Chain A
């Protein structure tokens, strides 16, 4: 089954038939995890870096923020039997509009916090496709871990 992950949303599955997909990542980041042994896949589509921006909102929509969404993605995957040391981690998105003043650098901030959080938790990013002024759509086939990335102007390819 195709499971769509919306903006500020997360899905985890261990059904080998499932495909997780998130559309139109601009400055947002799509974070994909997959355990090849447990055959568990997860996907998070977060929009902003830090939940301290709005604590109330972080409680009602924890997947909106990297700081609350990323830990939940890993925890949910563990529940399905995933183990950190085996997990493949892929990150895409983090684009931004052209602005020398960096006022619209949401994409960069989203990527920085991801790097920091994963570094602190000793998790390596296996593959990534970050930045630029493009739109991205990413899908993960839970049974095989096959990750397909579509980038505006660059077409569709396996990541």
Chain B
């Protein structure tokens, strides 16, 4: 079996993305949905229920008072925030353990990188027309999920991959592709396809290291830009870190300036402090 076949087998065996998240996302499309209807769906997943309460009581989503029951939380929290909480809480399980050791990331660092990219995408989404903030957040959270599947293979071949990055000054994902037959972005796209996420999200994950990503569809541009800023800040940036290429002049089409980028990086530092509970989900 080739290495690529082994990797694809891992993707085939990935557990499904929690159905409850997708069901809630569908339900909140209807503005008339009640807190009771939502609670009926969510309450059957204990881990997610616990996470909803935990996050609702945390500062990031800023509820006016402490809540003790799911019903109470769902009455107080807006649908936008609920969507983010459902996605974050469903995604967290796929990032548990030492999932990106091959990229020389400590335990928890890939999740921290993912949360930071998701929050950065939400900060930047105001500049980008036609992208839903919830989709931006989700794509940010899941853009690097492919690393979980490639980590062990990258570890095996690390000297060769990293050696080429250092000697030849090439993007990490190019060396990754040449060594393993696929990049973590491509594998991540396959995973999202299995989880039945929408095509534009699959595309954004697949293209997030494409140097021309800023010239492509708005969600792809947004995820690539968010990732570039977060790795620049060193948040959950492993050995691959900043060894990626992105043609930055593409920000002009969104009316984004270099000053905007600096301001959003400054914003993210405070946002990450407020998002501590997102970083410690079960």
Contact = CB atoms under 8 A, between A and B. Distances in A.
Interface stretch (A31-39, A82-90, A101-109, A121-129): A101-109
Interface in A59-108: 61, 64, 95-104, 106-107
Contacts of B269: 7-8, 47, 61, 64
Interface residues of A, number: 34
A41 interface: no
A96 B246 CA distance: 11
Contact of B233 (A47, A53, A153): A47
A24 B239 CA distance: 10
B11 to A, nearest CB: 27
A152 B239 contact: yes
A19 interface: no
B43 interface: no
Given A97-B228, A103-B258, A106-B232, A54 B263 contact: yes
Contacts of B53: none
Interface residue tally of chain B, by bracket?
A: 35 or more
Contact of B232 (A27, A64, A153): A27
A148 interface: no
Interface string A19-63: 000011111100000000000000000011000011001000100
B9 interface: no
A144 interface: no
Contacts of B234: 7, 23-28, 135
B266 A133 contact: no
A4 interface: no
Interface stretch (B68-76, B77-85, B162-170, B185-193): B162-170
B242 A47 contact: no
A120 interface: no
B259 A104 contact: no
